[in-house]
Structures are given as C-alpha cells and as structure tokens.
Structure 1
Amino acid sequence: MKYKLLGRSGLKVSELCLGTMGFGTENGWGADKETSFAIMEKYAGAGGNFLDTANIYKLGASEKIIGEFTHACDRDYFVIATKYSLHDNKTNPNASGNNRKNMMRSVEESLKRLQTDFIDVLYLHIWDDLTPIDEVLRGLDDLIKQGKVNYAAISDTPAWVVARGNTMAELMGWNRFIALQVEYSLLQRTPERELLPVAKHFGMTVTPWAPLAGGALTGKYLRGDPGRIKEGSNRLDENSRRITKEVMAIAEKLDVEPAHVALKWTMQQPLSVIPIVGATKLSQLEQNLKTVDVTIPGEYMQRLDEASAIDLGFPMKFFKEDNVRLNTYGGFYDKIEKRN
C-alpha cells in the first residue's frame, strides 16, 4: 500500500480507505465483531491505516468495534475519521444537525465509543441548510485547539458552502477542510460539475463513498445476484447497465475483476482521490486490496470516461466550447500551462 497526503496537510493515509459502515449487525445486516476485527487486521497487514466511520453507523456499534480493536493494538498507527451531524438519539431537537451544541455532544460520545482521546479527522456529515458555516468552522477549530480533533473535513455539502467555508477559514486563521467526501463513481459523476473543481482549487482530497455504486459496478447484479439494491434504483437502470458492461469488458481485457477497474478509475483521476472501500466479509477486502496493483492504460481510461460521460451543464460545458476557448485564450489554449 502506498500513502498519500490528505489534502493540504502533512497527514499520510493509505491509498485505499476502509469503510466501516457495515461493522456491527444492529440493523439486521453487516459484520459481527470477530469478522470486523479480521477485516481490520488484514487491512492493517496490507499497510492500510485510514478508517472511515460515523457516530450513527450501526447505531454506534461501528465506532465501538473500531475502538476495541485500536485500543488493543497501536492506536497511533491508525488515522480514524468519523462524522457528526446525524442523530444518534431522538431526545431533543439539538441531538442532530450541524450546530455547535450537537457537534460538541456528538464528539464526546464518539470519543467514548472509540476509546480514544482524539479523533484524527472529523467530518461534517450532511449539510443541514440551517447552521451558519462560520459556526461550524469555529466549533471545529475549537475542538482542534482542545486536542480532541486533529483535522476538519466535510461531506455531502453544496460546493458553494465548501468554498465559502474554506475562504472564511483562511481569512480568519481557522483550520480549513482538508478532505471532501461525496458519492463519486462511474455511475455518479455529477460531482465533476462543481464539487471536484472546488476540491481541486482548495487542495482537498476527495474521499468517494460508494465508489462501486453499492456493488453495481462489480457486475454482480447483471449476473443475477439480488444484493441489497432494490429494483427501480438508478444504479440498475439501462444506462448503468451499459456502463457496467463496459467496466466488465475492460476488466476481462486486463484479466482483473470489474471492482478493480471501477476503483482504479477513481484513483487515476487528475486530482487526489482516495476511495472508501467497505467490506463485511474478509474476501471482499482481499479482492479490493488487489486494486493497488492494477493500472488502467490510457486507452481504457478514455473508454470508461466516454461510456460514463455526463452533461456538465453550464458553465463547465460552456468553457469547453471551441469558440469560447478561442476568444478566452486567443488561440493559445493548447500551448498554455494549466494549473493543477
């Protein structure tokens, strides 16, 4: 496993992040503690150090299992990322949302479940469209100053909010968001319209959830596996089936699994991307770990890009028009160095 810097920080994390939403059986599915331990042990043995969880995953069981595992070994080896925002109880209207009161309460509960004094990366989980972004940033900055959190990050939030937040943090001398977690895969490329450009501009690492689109990109649904995706989902519509068939065809050409192609496509994007790979079985993790040894040639990347292309809409599509580039760059577009 190789390591990447998380955003514009010096924090070194493995190129595959282990998603632990399935640790625990409280919702009627998932991995029990013994299996979860085996998955984390295998992941760490392969050089993995980046664990992704949340206060609400499996009613808190995910954090508890991670806490027991890391407490019994080398806590400092692991980079634990968790999230606040979603309710872990229904006792009062401030037990959910992005507000400071819920942030502080949620972090204290997460620290207890994780059996640790600090959280490495704390994400705002989902934007509530109520709390001022400066309230969020000041709260996160205070937690960092208190030593309870090392880095701030954000998930499932409009691009303009992310941009406003990082700009405000820079001006105020607060800690900025270093990572952006969004749904991103060959079946979900709409973040390329605004969210990925924001991440690129601010030097944030993108940590996609559902990079395999709930398993759809493994091809298992086309092979008759019913899985947990319900019929009628856009992950099973004709367009998704067409894209998945292309993934499967390229996987066959490369003599690898479709999952390897789908994951590596995200990793070979022209910005920092660390996909979150979930596992409830040891065999699933073992298969996903093989992705790090796969390289998709340029011609196949182009095929995947074309098969899954979306309408970028205005203004991104407008910027790509030949006349616009001619007028904007005076005919020198192909000769001018572009910003990374």
Structure 2
Amino acid sequence: MDYVKFGNTGMDVSQLCLGTMGFGDPNSGFHEWVLEEEESRPVIKKALDLGINFFDTANVYSYGASEKILGKALNDYANRDEIVVATKAYTQMKQAPNSRGLSRKTLLYQIDQSLERLQMDYVDLYIIHRWDYNTPIEETMEALHDIVKSGKARYIGASAMYAWQFAKAQAVADKHGWTKFVSMQNHLNLLYREEEREMLPLCGDQKIAVTPYSPLAAGRLTRDWEATTKRFLTDTTAKSKYDSTEEQDKIIVERVAEIADKYQVKRAQVALAWLLQKEQVVAPIIGATKESHLTDALPALDLKLTPEDVTYLEETYLPHHVVGAI
C-alpha cells in the first residue's frame, strides 16, 4: 500500500479508505442491509492487513452502531497513532430538539458522543455531513475550530455541498483565523460527475483532499445492470440517486465492462482507477461489506488508464440532477 499526504496537510493516508456505513444494526431503522458486528470485524481486520489506514464513519450510520463497531475493532487490531479515523455530524439522530444540524450546541455534544462510541480520545478528521441552512456558518466554523483546539479532532472536513458554500465557509474561517477544512467528501463516480463543474476545480486550487463517496455507484459499476443484490433491492437512497438516469447510465456501465475485459481486471478496478487518475482525488471511500470487496479494489492502485480509455468511459455522460448537496 502506498501512502499519500492528505491534501495540504502532513498526514499520511492510504489511497483507499474503508467506509463503514455498511456496518451497524439492521434493526436500527437506518439500513436493513448492514452487517452486524460479528460480520463486520473481519472486513475491518482485512483492511488493516492490506495496509488501509483510513477509516470513515458517521454518527448517523445505524444511529451510532457503526461507530461502536469500528472503534472496538480498531482498538483491538490497530495502533491508534498509525490510523486515520473520520466521523461526521449533521443528520437527525433522534426525534427531539437540538439533535441535528451544525449549531455550536449540537456539534459540541455530538463530538463527545462520537468519541464515547468510538472509545477514542480524538478523531483525526471531523466532517460536517451536509450544509446547515438554519445555522450561521460563523457559528459552525467557530465551534469546529474550538473542537480542534480542544484536541478532540486533528482536522476538519466537509461533505456534499455546493462549491459556493464550501468557498464561503473557508473564507469565514480565514477571516477570523479559525481552522479551515482540509477535505471534501463528495458524490463522485462515472455515473455522477456533476462535481467536476465547480467543486473539483476549487479543491484543486486550494489543495483540498477529495475523498469521493459512492465511488462504485452503490455497486452499479461492478456488475451487469440487470444483476441484483440485497442492497440493490433495499437501498432506497441509492435508488433515488441512480434509478431516474438508468438508460444513459447503462451505456457507461457497459463501457466499464469493456475496459475491464481489455485489461483482464475487475470492473471495480476500472471505476476506481478512473477516480484515482484525477489529481484532486486522494482516497475513494470503499463501502466494503465483504473481504473480497477490498481485495478486488486494491489492484486499482496499479491500473493506469490511457487518455483514450478515459475518453471512452466519459464521452456518453449526460448532465444529472444534483445529488448530495441539499
């Protein structure tokens, strides 16, 4: 495994990140297809064995169960100083006041809750999961700055917003001398490329680490369009992202299969190699729920697509409705 600097920081991360939305409690009301702890731990252990040192979770993933599973496994299997752990806050955690959003009150409470579930003194990266239209960005950025200065987070990142919002947040932090975001976790894959219009150029200019989520389009880029899995049948979030553009996306999926055949590799490796050839992308987030998902992904780090390959994969793309930013 090669390690790279995380954007404009000195922190080293693996070029693949294990996303843990798929670990948790299927009865939590979050996602019914997630793995429980006994099934999750071998996947986390395999990631560590493969040299992956970057792990991403969120408070809302199975409403805290994902953080608990990840934290327990990492505390058992890893050296804390060698790994990079990210978690997120924003989304509704329960039906009660002050249980969602990015207010000072909510953020200071949620970071403590996440650390307790992770059984850690700090996270390496604390990410705002979405933009909060109901809280002044000055309040959010100052609270995040205080979380960093308290030692509870080493860096801060953002996820899924419009480029103007991200630029505004950075400008507010810069104006007041507060901690700035070092990463952007956005929706980016061969089936959804709207981030290329403004967010990627902004991140490139500012040396922001881009860590795309859903790099395989919830598995759609890894198999024939007609193939199904439990997640495919039950993941309503993924359906809302991709089902409306099925006809145009099918062509791209077929081309991924052609390139995979050309190089005699897995389709997942082609999709990931396409992401990794973008200079802003530091580490795609792999939502692995099997050890094989990790071993299938790893060779993507060595697969070099030609400019002709990239053009062939990209040329049939049509604009999509914005997904992620709200």
The two structures have a TM-score, normalised by structure 2, of: 0.90
Task: Report Cα offsets for 1:294-330 as digits up to 9, x if no partner.
Answer: 221222112112233649xxxxxxxxxxxxxxxxxxx
Contact 2:256 2:267 in 1 (8 A): yes
Alignment of 1:32-71 (within 5 A): 32-71=36-75
Distance in 2 between residues matched to 1:225 and 1:66, nearest whole Å: 24
2:318 and 2:276 mapped to 1: Cα distance? 17
Match status 1:91 vs 2:96:
yes
SS in 2 for 1:47: coil
Which of 183, 188, 210 lines up with 1:184 in the alignment? 188
Q: Which residue of 2 aligns with 1:12?
A: 12
1:161 is matched with: 165
Structure 1 position 241 matched with structure 2 position 245: no
The answer as to 2:204 corresponding to 1:200 is yes
**Residue 212 of structure 2 contacts residue 281 of structure 2 at CA under 8 Å; is this kept in 1?**
no
Q: Does 1:3 align with 2:3?
A: yes
Between the aligned partners of 1:108 and 1:270, the Cα distance in structure 2 is 35
Counterpart in the other structure of 2:324: none
Residue 305 of structure 1 corresponds to 314
> In the superposition, relative to structure 1, how do residues 225 and 58 fare at CA in structure 2: closer, same or farther (>3 Å)?
closer
Q: Is the 8 A contact 1:251 1:261 kept in 2?
A: yes
- 4+ residue segments displaced more than 2 Å: 25-28, 219-236, 270-273, 307-311
Q: 1:176 to 1:232 in 2, by over 3 A?
A: closer
How far is 1:214 from its partner? Answer: 1.0
Higher relative contact order (CA 8 A, sep 6+): 2
> What is the identity, as a one-letter code, of the residue corresponding to 1:88?
M
Aligned residues: 311
Contact 2:221 2:268 in 1 (8 A): yes
State the 1:254 CA deviation: 0.8
Please show how residues 273-312 of structure 1 align to structure 2 within 5 Å.
273-308=282-317, 310=319
Partner residue, 2:84: 79
- What is aligned with 1:132? 136
Q: Give the match for residue 152 of structure 1.
A: 156
Larger Rg, first or second structure (1 or 2): 1
Tell me how far apart the structure 2 counterparts of residues 291 and 145 of structure 1 sit (CA, whole Å).
37
Q: How does 1:296-335 map to 2 (within 5 A)?
A: 296-308=305-317, 310=319
Q: What TM-score comes out, normalization by structure 1 length?
A: 0.86
* Conserved 8 A contact 1:222-1:241: no
Per mean C-alpha deviation after superposition, the further-off stretch among 152-161 and 168-177 is 168-177
CA distance, structure 2, for counterparts of residue 232 and residue 124 of structure 1: 22
Q: Tell me which amino acid in the other structure corresponds to 1:296.
A: L
Distance 2:304 2:38 in 1: 33
For structure 1, the 5+ residue unaligned runs are 312-340
Letter in 2 for 1:190: E
| Structure 2 SS opposite 1:29 | coil
For 1:152 and 1:233, the matched residues in 2 are separated by 26
> C-alpha distance in 2, partners of 1:233/1:96?
23
Q: Which runs of 5+ in 2 are unaligned?
A: 321-326
Partner of 2:105: 101
Corresponding residue for residue 323 of structure 2: none
Asked if 1:25 corresponds to 2:25, the answer is: yes
State the distance in 2 between where 1:272 and 1:5 align. Answer: 11
Q: What amino acid is the match of 1:23?
A: F
Residue 199 of structure 1 and its aligned partner are, at CA, apart by: 1.1
Residue 28 of structure 1 deviates from its aligned partner by: 2.4
> How far apart, CA to CA, are the structure 2 residues paired with 1:125 and 1:249?
35
Contact 1:206 1:272 in 2 (8 A): yes
The CA distance in 2 between the partners of 1:270 and 1:67, in whole Å, is: 31
The 1:160/1:306 distance shift into structure 2, 3 A limit, reads same
2-structure distance, mates of 1:289, 1:40: 15
Partner of 2:278: 269
Shift of 1:88: 1.7
Aligned-pair CA distance for 1:58: 1.3
Instruction: State whether residues 246 and 307 of structure 1, in contact with CA within 8 Å, keep that contact through their aligned partners in structure 2.
Output: no
